[in-house]
Amino acid sequence: MRFEEFARSHGLIIRDVIPDRWVSTPTEDHPRSRNGRYKFLGAVGWVQNWATMQTPSMWKTDDSTFDRGKIRQAIQKSILDREEQAKKASAKAGWILHQTYLAPHPYLEKKGFPDEMGNIWENDGKRMLVIPMRIAHRLVGCQLIDDQGVKKFLYGQHSKGASFVIDAKGIPLFCEGYATALSIRAAMKAIKMRYTLFVCFSASNIQQIAREVEGGIVIADRDPNGVGERSALDANKPYWLSDTVGEDFNDFHIRVGLFRASESLKKVIFLNNVAKAGVKT
């Protein structure tokens, strides 16, 4: 199998293969975002779809004339390169956050939160919403969201297992996106229940993070390809899912209003006997 075919089989959309470095690329499930990445070294390569894969998947050439020793060297060099890129991304995330200020953002207004204050970073004439990403309280990177809702991560950052936590000392709730978390927070406040919200940034991250936390519920995206629901099932947690294909909880909240959204979430919480930890006293 050629590298391009291998990448397509994992959902990556690649027009021209650029060798010798990690390249961000759109995916079939997120064609407007750069939700995939690849690295091609001729005889060996890696691909990763952030929505479906926790770690990169490796491809090797079928050509027996390639020197296997050189392939092993290329693999080791790639591992060292990724570690160095991750360190630089962590440092850059800290640098970006030190330049941010609190203000509303067009993306948050579009998602139903015009008065929400977010971390804003001005760069190249753009006002980017910045969501920090941490692993065990250690800053590893951030998600940047522009006015149109296009999202990207820092080049080379270590995103596996990273999350953004909104902690009100209550029921663990796991979701993919920041706007989804804001809608969940509004619903939990409406039904007067405490919460600890984990913004996981991808379906594959939900699986990993939810498994590491006792109890809780996954608030899954109802993706047309079923990825969101599968992540909830793989996490072995009860889960909420919209009745409409293509919606996440934020979409559902905007469509039906806060009362119906909060009652829908409350129903899942109580049906699965996880309410005790979240009842406000």
Q: Are residues 85 and 192 in the same domain?
A: no
Beta strands 217-219 and 239-240 are: parallel
Q: Give the angle 212-36-211 at the CA atoms, nearest 5°.
A: 10
In single-letter form, the type of residue at position 85 comes to Q
In single-letter form, the type of residue at position 61 comes to T
Residue 185 CB partners (closer than 8 Å, separation 6+) = 166, 195, 197
In sequence order, what DSSP letters do the residues of the chain get, joined into one string?
Answer: --HHHHHHHTTB--SSPPPSS-EEE-BSS-TTTT-EEEEE-SSEEEEEETTT-SS-EEEE---TTS-HHHHHHHHHHHHHHHHHHHHHHHHHHHHHHTT-EEE--HHHHHTT-TT--EEEEEETTEEEEEEEEEETTEEEEEEEE-TT--EEE-TT---TT-BEEEE-SSEEEEES-HHHHHHHHHHHHHTTB-EEEEE-SSHHHHHHHHHTSSS-EEE----TTSHHHHHHHHTTS-EE--SSTT--HHHHHHHH-HHHHHHHHHHHHHHTT--GGGB--
Is 135 part of any domain? no
Q: Are residues 69 and 174 in the same domain?
A: no
Domain final residue pick, 71, 94, 117:
94
- Identify the pLDDT of residue 71: 67
Encoded tokens for 140: 């590893």
Q: Are residues 76 and 178 in the same domain?
A: no
Is 148 part of any domain? no
CA atoms within 13 A on the CB side of 9: 10
Is 181 part of any domain? yes
The Cα 74–Cα 78 span in angstroms is 6
Encoded tokens for 141: 């990177």
Domain final residue pick, 94, 115, 140:
94
Domain final residue pick, 40, 60, 94:
94
Q: Are residues 186 and 281 in the same domain?
A: yes
- Identify the pLDDT of residue 252: 98
| Residues facing residue 27 across a β-bridge | 12
Sign of CA dihedral 189, 190, 195, 200: negative
- Identify the pLDDT of residue 69: 73
For the chain, the residue count is: 281
| Domain of residue 233, CATH code | 3.40.50
139: exposed, middle or buried (Cβ count in 10 Å: 0-12, 13-18, 19+): middle
Enclosing domain of residue 179: 163-281
- Identify the pLDDT of residue 54: 67
Is 35 part of any domain? yes
- Identify the pLDDT of residue 83: 87
Q: Are residues 90 and 167 in the same domain?
A: no
- Identify the pLDDT of residue 78: 73
- Identify the pLDDT of residue 171: 95
In sequence order, what DSSP letters do the residues of 215-240 get, joined into one string?
Answer: S-EEE----TTSHHHHHHHHTTS-EE
Q: Are residues 278 and 183 in the same domain?
A: yes
**Token pair 């509303």: residue:** 104
Encoded tokens for 139: 């800053």
pLDDT digit string (tens) for the chain, length 281 residues: 889 999 999 999 998 888 878 888 999 887 877 888 899 888 889 998 877 776 789 998 887 776 667 767 777 777 788 789 899 999 999 999 999 999 999 999 999 999 999 999 999 889 999 999 999 999 999 999 999 999 989 988 988 899 999 998 999 999 999 999 999 999 999 999 999 999 999 888 998 899 999 999 999 999 888 888 998 999 999 999 999 999 999 999 999 999 999 999 999 999 887 765 444 43
Q: Are residues 169 and 278 in the same domain?
A: yes
Is 12 part of any domain? yes
Structural domain count of the chain: 2
Buried b (16+ CB within 10 A) or exposed e, 223-254: beeebbbbbbebbebbbbbbeeeebbbbbbbb
- Identify the pLDDT of residue 122: 96
